[in-house]
Chain A
Amino acid sequence: MSGWCGAALPILLLLPLGGALLLLVAGRRVERVAVRFGVAVQSIGLVTALVLLAGFDTDRSDVMQFRVDYRWVPQLDLSVSLGVDGISLPLVVLTSLLGLLTMVYTLRYPPAAGHPRAFVGLLLLLQTGMLGTFVALDLILFFLLFEVVLAPMWFLIAYWGQGERRTAANVFILYTVLGSVVMLMGFLYVWSVTGTTDMVILAQLHGAGLSSSAQLLAVILIGVGLAVKAPMWPLHSWLPDAHTAAPTVGSVLLAGVLLKMGTYGMVRIALPTLPDGAITVAPYLGALAVIGILYGAWASYAQTDLKRLIAFSSVGHMGFVLLGIASLDSVGVNGALFGNIAHGLITGLLFFVVGGIKERTQTTDLAQLPRGLYQRAPRLGFVFGFACIASLGLPGLAGFWGEFLALVGAYSPTVSDRYLFRALMVLAAFGMVLTAAYFLRVLRRVGQGEPDPLPMRDLTETEAASWMPLAGLILVLGLLPGLLLNLTNPAVERVLSDSANTVDVRS
């Protein structure tokens, strides 16, 4: 590979980190230009991600590309090992895009609690952690970057949030730190048995050297840590509070990227490294996923706060992603990865729009929100309606394909409990109707009804600029799902295949 290939990933990670450090060092005098600086950094980041996308060899999307191997602490066999394949690349691009869009949004709507320099610095630090999680190819590095994300998010919620923000932030960090500790134990256990933390080698081994019981123990430990993040029912209860309390950009990144780190970890680490363990826990994961779908839908229907409602809807949507993973079928896992991206785009957009509504009305309480948004702010209402329709899974928009492919996967699972999974599939399909029910309720409450006579500001240019890319991608991926599936499919096949037909991965 040529030189710039090796530099791409380090640039992607070090750029926001350097930006954050620069803001820290520069002191108060850069307070005014901090957000513009953040936009610049994130723009370069997105360009880098797009260069990565352009330079990515799509014919070999199952192979780790743009590899970086730097022996960090040789004594401990600890190395900085980075790379992207068809599974991680879409998430890297999504993260870079959302990182830029949140920054553009902050340009127009600066943090209410002030201190833009710290706010931007934390967002940049968060960016490094999120991107790093998706490109790390070493278990310990993965864990470290996974943890890097927590601190900035805690600060974002605790200092720039609203309502019960301190409690919500503490619950968030407590939950995820406890989960991460369990996950770390799992990683260390795998290391102690196999003697390596290299995720590529572990995937190549495909469970060789790990007995079934060892795999089961490891998959439970690792799985719990990742499931908290996903979030899987019943480990979801940090999410509604965190979302309700978080500032708009925090909610967008939380839903758009942070939740994906859990499900990504399952596909990246648990499936290839611990195949036997995954088979054992798959039925339980599938059942919990479907409980999450139904529970999330019913809970959403009963919510009185719009942000909380969308948070619960995430529980349901991520339930489809988890169901796809639990099927262990290549179609299902592809569906899960598609659902990851689609949910990031759609729910990111939803939180943006709800944030915009809150800017105007100072409330997200469904009972207090003025009626007739379609009339009072037609463009804003249109985007809101579009996001809701996308979220309820209309075919032709991105949200549908992830759910549909998860259902296909659940109908033909690669495990013995075929009838259980078929029952789960039927229940999940009913979950699609329940999802429609609560989103239509929201549209009826917020969009329709006798319009409030008071004027309301319609879509601003900044809002349009930071939201339209998401809306456009939702439509494009909805009409051309193959764009994404062609990228993920070879990599998924490799993740699920056994070591026998795995060829040289370190090319």
Chain B
Amino acid sequence: MALLLVASPFLAGCLGLVFGRWRGAAAAVAVAGTAIPLLAVCWLWAQQPWAEPVVSSGLSGELQPLPFATLVDGLAVVVATMVAFVALLVQIYSVTYMRAEPRYASYSAFVSLFTAAMLAVVVAGDLLLLVVGWEVMGLCSYLLIGQHWERADARGAAVKAFLVTKLGDVGFIIGIVVLLVTTGSLLVVDVVDAAANDATLATVASLLLLVGVLGKSAQFPLHAWLPDAMAGPSPVSALIHAATMVAAGVYVIARMYPMFLASQAVLSVLAVLACIGMLGAALAAYAQDDIKRVLAWSTISQLAYMFAALAVGSRDAAVFHMLSHAFFKALLFLGAGAVIVVVGTNIMNNMGGLRRTMPVTFVTMSIGLLALVGIAPLAGFFSKESVLVAAEHAAQGDAQISAALGLLVFVVAIATVGVTAAYALRLWLKTFLGSSSAGQVGREAPAGLWWPLVVLAVPILGFGFVALVEDWLPTWMQANAVSPGDPLTDLSPSLFTVVVSMAAVGCGLAVAWFAVLGPSAESARPRRPWRVAAGGFGVDHLYRVVAEQPFRTAARTVSFVDDRVVIPTVNGLGRLTQLLGLATQELQRGNVQRYLSAAMSLVVVAVVFLLVSVST
């Protein structure tokens, strides 16, 4: 059954690529290919409790990765449900959204392949299947970001996304090699067990894997590809850059969590990077003018929350926030896509007043934004509170990392809540309130675009309440867990965090309201700090100096050396060939038939030469 999850979208992708000529068939195959995993997951839910947690392969040695082993436990099923649900909605949405796209068949096939790769990561029971899914996802991301490759920005963004994540994958692959060689096993279960009991191995391997995770999940300092990746179509942003691919990094840590818990150093690194990511990305989000770039930076910031939760020792809070974020961020990206289709621009200053003309989009996106800010009783509220509660515990010294670091995480998380409220309100005001020419003459997006938004709003409204049922979600996730021992985390909010975070929300809303609608702000040029934030704090420039320029210089140098040193040396030797040339001149005058016989005679000569030289 687990293999069906991966195989059906994979086959749908292959079919789409081969028989892409018929658009309707391509759409049907794509939707069916992503619907089957959802049905399979439902079936898995119905089969609870699962008799066999690990569907192991006949893996008898490190050299026989055949077939790949899968691992289906509560965590995998919970996350697979989210992935299949969002992917299906994205496929359905794409049928309408991409209706004018000449390359729809390959597009939908790549979305299917992408879904297959993500599900492969989710159900991976051995490290090799994990690596395959992990990297194929990177490739599909490259292909989908570059969907409109006639545009230079899409080409550049696609290459950037691939190379930055691939750079992270250097660490990931080395980490896999270290785990494989040191533990002598490929099975995730064995590897994690072994590493959890070996502090050195845990630290080294976790750090190496973390490098890959930072790339995939777009965390500082490997985050810079994500904002540019908005050059891809909006449904791609919803699928890849909000709900699934970036979540893969979080999932891998959650999957191998005992190993990460065994290393305080790695958790501390994670905590610091999460702090930078949360606040830095939220500030950058506030400075953007492009609606999709706001959401992109917001994604980086929200993922940093999940990493913060992992750093303070609460896997369950991290996964909880990952699920609710997947729902509301997918909704926001799809909603932004609907807005862009109608208005014809990404720039928020050219929008405004869309609440009247696009009521469904307005209401659903408002729900999504409220969830992003964390307003009760939406899913985002509960999941963010669970992270804050975990951070608060860490600040009191109840976690692996030091209490001071825990306090830092808590303070930064609260501050980020405020900034999040500010940029969410700014987006809402600029897009839906006020007035603009688009807001006057516009119309609601086609039904094929808005009803997936309504469907996504349902879990946002309802899903959060699972936190109130004590231990319900953690129990689910630990069902058939392979490495028990993690204490169940209470995900319900505490009064203290609710009060503090709501105060932060109030401050953030007030600032944004004043900044957007106040007398001075609207027309004024952004001040320098905001320009820096809008540019992502100069990290792109850093890449150019540290990575790109040395690479180009090296390439030029090597090419120069090869032309000026190696080739002349060869040419010197080439003089010798002139001697040979004298001998071949005779041949050149003859016809080809004689060359053939000459070839034969050359062999004969070699044989004779050999026999003579050997016998003397």
Question: Which of B66, B551, B607 makes the CB contact (< 8 A) with A437?
Answer: B551
Question: Which of A28, A237, A374 makes the CB contact (< 8 A) with B562?
Answer: A237
A195 within 8 A of B: no
A303 within 8 A of B: yes
- Chain A 419-453, CB within 8 Å of chain B: the 1/0 string? 00000011001101110110011001001111100
Separation of A143 and B603 alpha carbons in the complex (Å): 11
- Chain B 24-65, CB within 8 Å of chain A: the 1/0 string? 000000000000000000000000000000000000011111
The reply to whether A125 and B599 form a contact with Cβ atoms under 8 Å apart is yes
B131 within 8 A of A: yes
A159 within 8 A of B: yes
Min C-beta distance of B343 to chain A, whole Å: 26
A362 within 8 A of B: no
The reply to whether A170 and B581 form a contact with Cβ atoms under 8 Å apart is yes
Most buried by A among B17, B131, B595, B596: B596
The reply to whether A449 and B149 form a contact with Cβ atoms under 8 Å apart is yes
- Say whether chain A's binding surface is mostly helix, strand, loop, or mixed: helix
- Chain A 297-316, CB within 8 Å of chain B: the 1/0 string? 01101110000000000000
Question: Which of A122, A404, A451 makes the CB contact (< 8 A) with B150?
Answer: A451
Contact A144 B577, CB 8 Å, known A395-B135, A432-B173: no
The reply to whether B66 and A482 form a contact with Cβ atoms under 8 Å apart is yes
B495 within 8 A of A: no
Q: Which residue of chain B is the closest to A300 with respect to CB atoms? A: B555
Question: Which of A302, A404, A448 makes the CB contact (< 8 A) with B559?
Answer: A302
Contact A394 B135, CB 8 Å, known A237-B570, A432-B170: yes
- Chain A 18-53, CB within 8 Å of chain B: the 1/0 string? 001000100010000000000000000000000000
Give me the 10 closest cross-chain CB pairs, A-B, nearest first: A482-B66, A302-B559, A448-B149, A298-B558, A301-B555, A170-B577, A118-B592, A151-B599, A395-B132, A298-B555
Q: List the A side residues contacting B555 at CB < 8 Å.
A: 298-299, 301-302
Separation of A481 and B233 alpha carbons in the complex (Å): 35
The reply to whether B603 and A148 form a contact with Cβ atoms under 8 Å apart is yes
Interface residue tally for chain A (C-beta within 8 Å): 78
Q: Which residue of chain A is the closest to B57 with respect to CB atoms? A: A482
The reply to whether A167 and B603 form a contact with Cβ atoms under 8 Å apart is no
Q: List the A side residues contacting B64 at CB < 8 Å.
A: 482, 485-486, 489
Min C-beta distance of B440 to chain A, whole Å: 35
A408 within 8 A of B: yes
Q: Which residue of chain B is the closest to A486 with respect to CB atoms? A: B64
Q: List the A side residues contacting B166 at CB < 8 Å.
A: 432-433, 436
26 A-B pairs whose Cβ atoms sit less than 8 Å apart in the complex: A24-B593, A115-B592, A118-B593, A151-B599, A151-B603, A155-B595, A237-B562, A301-B551, A301-B552, A303-B559, A382-B17, A394-B139, A396-B132, A405-B63, A411-B181, A425-B174, A429-B170, A440-B162, A447-B149, A450-B150, A480-B67, A481-B66, A482-B63, A485-B64, A485-B65, A486-B64
The reply to whether B132 and A302 form a contact with Cβ atoms under 8 Å apart is no
Q: List the A side residues contacting B606 at CB < 8 Å.
A: 144, 147
Separation of A73 and B569 alpha carbons in the complex (Å): 41
Q: List the B side residues contacting A407 at CB < 8 Å.
A: 173-174, 177
The reply to whether B596 and A24 form a contact with Cβ atoms under 8 Å apart is yes
Contact A448 B146, CB 8 Å, known A76-B611, A144-B610, A147-B603: yes
Q: Which residue of chain A is the closest to B136 with respect to CB atoms? A: A396
The reply to whether A234 and B566 form a contact with Cβ atoms under 8 Å apart is yes
Within 8 A of B (CB), among A333-389: 334, 372, 374-375, 382, 389
Q: Which residue of chain A is the closest to B578 with respect to CB atoms? A: A170
Separation of A83 and B67 alpha carbons in the complex (Å): 31
B538 within 8 A of A: no
The reply to whether B596 and A122 form a contact with Cβ atoms under 8 Å apart is yes
Separation of A71 and B584 alpha carbons in the complex (Å): 35
The reply to whether B596 and A295 form a contact with Cβ atoms under 8 Å apart is no
Q: Which residue of chain B is the closest to A440 with respect to CB atoms? A: B159
The reply to whether A174 and B580 form a contact with Cβ atoms under 8 Å apart is yes
Interface residues of A (CB under 8 A from B): 20, 24, 28, 73, 76, 115, 118, 121-122, 125, 140, 143-144, 147-148, 151-152, 155, 159, 167, 170-171, 173-175, 184, 188, 234, 237-238, 295, 298-299, 301-303, 330-331, 334, 372, 374-375, 382, 389, 394-396, 400, 404-405, 407-408, 411-412, 425-426, 429-430, 432-434, 436-437, 440-441, 444, 447-451, 480-483, 485-486, 489
Question: Which of B63, B573, B592, B610 makes the CB contact (< 8 A) with A174?
Answer: B573
The reply to whether A76 and B615 form a contact with Cβ atoms under 8 Å apart is yes
Min C-beta distance of B585 to chain A, whole Å: 11
Separation of A125 and B600 alpha carbons in the complex (Å): 9
Q: List the B side residues contacting A481 at CB < 8 Å.
A: 65-66
The reply to whether B577 and A171 form a contact with Cβ atoms under 8 Å apart is yes
Contact A167 B135, CB 8 Å, known A115-B592, A426-B174, A481-B66: no
Min C-beta distance of A413 to chain B, whole Å: 11
Q: Which residue of chain A is the closest to B606 with respect to CB atoms? A: A147
Separation of A425 and B166 alpha carbons in the complex (Å): 16
Min C-beta distance of A420 to chain B, whole Å: 16
B597 within 8 A of A: yes
Separation of A303 and B593 alpha carbons in the complex (Å): 37
The reply to whether A76 and B614 form a contact with Cβ atoms under 8 Å apart is yes
The reply to whether B150 and A449 form a contact with Cβ atoms under 8 Å apart is yes
